[in-house]
C-alpha cells in the first residue's frame, strides 16, 4: 500500500485540519519554544535538568504523540485503535528519567521538583503533539508561575524569625516544652535552665529559637495553657 503523506492532515487547535508536514513542523517549533521557556527557568536556578533536557523531553513527547495520531489514521483497521496507548507509555517511561533526577543524600531527598518538572514538560509535549498548542502554551505559563511564585508566597506566610523566650515554670513544664519543640521541628539555637532547686522544683528556662510565626503562635498557646508555667515572655531578636 502506497501512502502519500502530502495528502494527510493533522489537527491544530483553532486551525482545524492542516497539512501533515506543516502541522508537524509547527508542533515541533512550539515544543522547542515551550521547552526552552521552562529550561531557562531551571537553568537559572542551577538545576540538573536544564534547557537541552527540557527541550528534548518536550519535543520527544510531541513527536511520539503526533506519530501515534498519524499512524492511527494511516493504518486504521477497525474501531479498536487508540492513539493514547503510546501516550500512556510516554507517561510511564518518563518516570525513569524523573527518578534519575532524584538524589538521596544523608537522609534528605533532593530533586523532587526537577523530577516533577520533567513529568509536566512531557505532558506539555503530549498536549502539543495532540494539536493543542495554545492550551500547551497556557500550561507552560502556569508552570512558570508555580515555579517562581509559590516559594515567595510560602516565605511570606512561613517567614522565620529569631525569638527569645523566657519561661519560669516547674521542671515538668520544661520537659513538656522540649517535647513540643521537638515535635514541631523548631530550630533551637540556645537553651539554658538555671535557678532550679529541690524544694520548689521551680526553674528559669531561657530559649533562643528560629521559628515561623505560625509555629510560634502554636508554641505560645501551648506554654501559656500549661498549668506548671508561672511566667512567660517572648520577643523577636532578629527578623
Which domains are present in the chain?
Answer: 5-156 (no CATH), 160-238 (3.30.70.260)
User: Which residue, 43, 62, 65, 64, is CA-closest to 52?
Assistant: 43
Residue-level pLDDT at 67:
86
Q: What does the alpha-carbon distance between residue 128 and residue 57 come to, in Å, rounded to a whole number?
A: 12
Residue-level pLDDT at 81:
65
Residues 146 and 152 sit within 8 Å (Cβ to Cβ): no
User: Which residue, 136, 114, 102, 118, is CA-closest to 56?
Assistant: 118
Residue-level pLDDT at 38:
95
Q: b/e string for 64-79 if b means 16 or more Cβ within 10 A?
A: bbbebbbeeeeeeeee
164 DSSP β-pair partners: 208, 235
Residue 59 phi, psi (nearest 5): -65, -45
Alpha-carbon distances of 124 from 37, 69, 77, rounded to whole Å:
12, 16, 29
Is residue 201 classed as helix, strand or coil in its secondary structure? coil
- At which residue does the C-alpha cell 511570606 appear? 156
Q: What is the pLDDT along the chain (239 residues), one digit of tens a residue?
A: 555 666 778 889 999 999 888 999 999 999 999 999 999 999 888 887 889 999 999 999 999 999 888 877 776 655 666 767 777 888 888 888 887 777 654 445 678 888 899 999 999 999 999 999 999 999 999 999 999 888 777 766 667 778 888 888 888 888 888 888 888 878 888 888 877 655 667 888 888 888 877 788 888 888 888 888 888 888 887 66
Query: Residues for the chain: how many in total?
Result: 239
Residue-level pLDDT at 98:
80
Residues 8 and 70 sit within 8 Å (Cβ to Cβ): yes
Amino acid at each position: 500500500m502506497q501512502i502519500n503523506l502530502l495528502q494527510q492532515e493533522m489537527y491544530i487547535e483553532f486551525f482545524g485540519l492542516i497539512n501533515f508536514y506543516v502541522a508537524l513542523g509547527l508542533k515541533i517549533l512550539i515544543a522547542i519554544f515551550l521547552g526552552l521557556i521552562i529550561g531557562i527557568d531551571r537553568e537559572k536556578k542551577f538545576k540538573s535538568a536544564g534547557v537541552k533536557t527540557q527541550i528534548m523531553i518536550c519535543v520527544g513527547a510531541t513527536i511520539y504523540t503526533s506519530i501515534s495520531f498519524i499512524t492511527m489514521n494511516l493504518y486504521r483497521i477497525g474501531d479498536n485503535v487508540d492513539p493514547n496507548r503510546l501516550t500512556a507509555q510516554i507517561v510511564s517511561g518518563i518516570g525513569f528519567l524523573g527518578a534519575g533526577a532524584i538524589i538521596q543524600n544523608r537522609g534528605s531527598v533532593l530533586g523532587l521538583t526537577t523530577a516533577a518538572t520533567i513529568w509536566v514538560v512531557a505532558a506539555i509535549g503530549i498536549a502539543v503533539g495532540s494539536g493543542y498548542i495554545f492550551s500547551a502554551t497556557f500550561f507552560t505559563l502556569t508552570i512558570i508561575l508555580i515555579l517562581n511564585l509559590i516559594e515567595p508566597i510560602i516565605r511570606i506566610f512561613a517567614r522565620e524569625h529569631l525569638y527569645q523566650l523566657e519561661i519560669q515554670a516547674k521542671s515538668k513544664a520544661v520537659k513538656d516544652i522540649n517535647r513540643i519543640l521537638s515535635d514541631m521541628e523548631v530550630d533551637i539555637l540556645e537553651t539554658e535552665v538555671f535557678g532550679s532547686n529541690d524544694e520548689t522544683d521551680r526553674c528559669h528556662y531561657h530559649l533562643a529559637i528560629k521559628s515561623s510565626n505560625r509555629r510560634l503562635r502554636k508554641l505560645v498557646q501551648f506554654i501559656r495553657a500549661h498549668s506548671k508555667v508561672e511566667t512567660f515572655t517572648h520577643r523577636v531578636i532578629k527578623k
